[in-house]
Amino acid sequence: MTPLPAAREIDLWSLALDASPATVAALAALLSEEERERAERFAFAHLRRRFIVRRGALRLLLGHYTGMEAGSIVFRHAGRGKPLVDGAPHFSASHSGDLAIYAFTNASEIGIDVERIRGVEDAEGIAKRFFAPEELTQIAALRAEERDHAFLKLWTRKEAYLKATGDGLSGSPDALSVLLDESTWRIHELTPADGFIGALAIRNCDAAHGPWRHLSSSDLSRNRAISPVMDASSFHHTK
């Protein structure tokens, strides 16, 4: 078992989701019946595979920190639906395209979000629905070619905060400005991989995140055909 993160540390992981059929099958065997049913509801095979990989990897990472067998981990939910695991650190996960990211800490509630950098269809309409007035003003002041990136930057900050609180989009994101006072929450910008933008929200404290630990399908497959307890030596620590 790997020690839990120190009290003021945040561990960050990223994962390439496009895995070999053998790895997908091994990870699928770790999932609960409910998770497997969720996977089967995806209409497209590549989305089904990516769901299996990111959920299986989350189980492996939780086992990595707690010593539990990955397949026996039980998720429960706080009052607003935020997932928890007894005996595990605070954690949050997000995915976009072929990338998943995870954060673990003992410091406080935490939320993480990632988006692939791209053009955003109807960004103005979405912003009018979900962004606070001062956020709309900031985006409108930018050149047209800068607006998609600015939109995604604000969106990931907002999503990270709402994941940390457990509210999700039901938390009236139009009333939440992530440009204003951070006396209660701190939001950090992240670059988990080329072509992606992310954000991390944590209750106001001096916890700091370390370097990204990047994990690939080949790393998973080298773990004794997906060991229940992740071997830390299989991870690549990168700045």
What pTM does this model have? Answer: 0.86
SS3 152: helix
For the chain, residues classed under CATH 3.90.470.20 are 8-107+210-229, 112-204
pLDDT, tens digit, for every residue of 45-78?
Answer: 999 999 999 999 999 999 888 989 999 999 998 7
Could you give the CA distance from residue 66 to residue 179 in angstroms, rounded to a whole number? 36
- DSSP, collapsed to helix, strand or coil, labels residue 190 as strand
CA angle, corner 27, sides to 212 and 235, nearest 5? 25
Give the neighbor-by-neighbor strand order of the sheet with 236-237.
90-96, 99-105, 9-16, 208-215, 236-237
pLDDT at 233 over 70: no
Structure confidence at residue 237 (pLDDT) = 36
- Taking alpha carbons only, the member of 136, 196, 185, 141 closest to residue 163 is 185
- Cα 58 to Cα 45: distance, rounded to the nearest angstrom: 20
Question: 29 pLDDT exceeds 70?
Answer: yes
Question: Which residues touch 222 (CB under 8 Å, ≥6 apart)?
Answer: 234
Phi (first) and psi of residue 93, to 5 degrees: -140, 155
Q: What is the pLDDT of residues 189-230, one digit of tens each?
A: 999 999 999 999 998 777 788 888 888 766 565 554 344 334
The mean per-residue pLDDT over the stretch 135-152 comes to 86
Q: Does domain 8-107+210-229 have CATH number 3.90.470.20?
A: yes
CATH 1.10.220.110 holds for 112-204: no
Are the CB atoms for 134 and 142 separated by under 8 Å?
Answer: no
Q: Cα 46 vs. chain centroid, distance in angstroms? A: 19
C-alpha 50/C-alpha 54 separation (Å) is 6
Q: For residue 72, how far is the Cα from the chain centroid?
A: 21
Question: H or E segment at 193?
Answer: none
